[in-house]
């Protein structure tokens, strides 16, 4: 079980729910009976 990380986005692989962690903690973020996966940051298109 990993600690939740402030500012990270988590996604449930079962139902697709996504959450943004606004307060760090000692426990993992969970949904549907299992830990949620940390998502990679999305790339923002260039405005050039």
Local confidence pLDDT in tens for the 48 residues of the chain: 578 889 999 999 999 999 999 998 999 999 999 999 999 888 888 887
46-21-1 Cα angle (round to 5) = 120
What letter would DSSP give residue 18?
Answer: E
What pLDDT is recorded for position 41? Answer: 84
CATH number, residue 26? 2.20.28
Range of the domain at 19: 9-38
Give the pTM.
0.76
* 21 found inside a domain: yes
């Amino acid at each position: 079980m990993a600690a939740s990380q402030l500012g990270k986005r988590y996604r449930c692989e079962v139902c697709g729910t996504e959450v943004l962690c606004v307060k760090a903690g000692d426990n993992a973020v969970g949904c549907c009976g299992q830990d949620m996966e940390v998502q990679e940051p999305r790339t923002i298109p260039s405005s050039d």
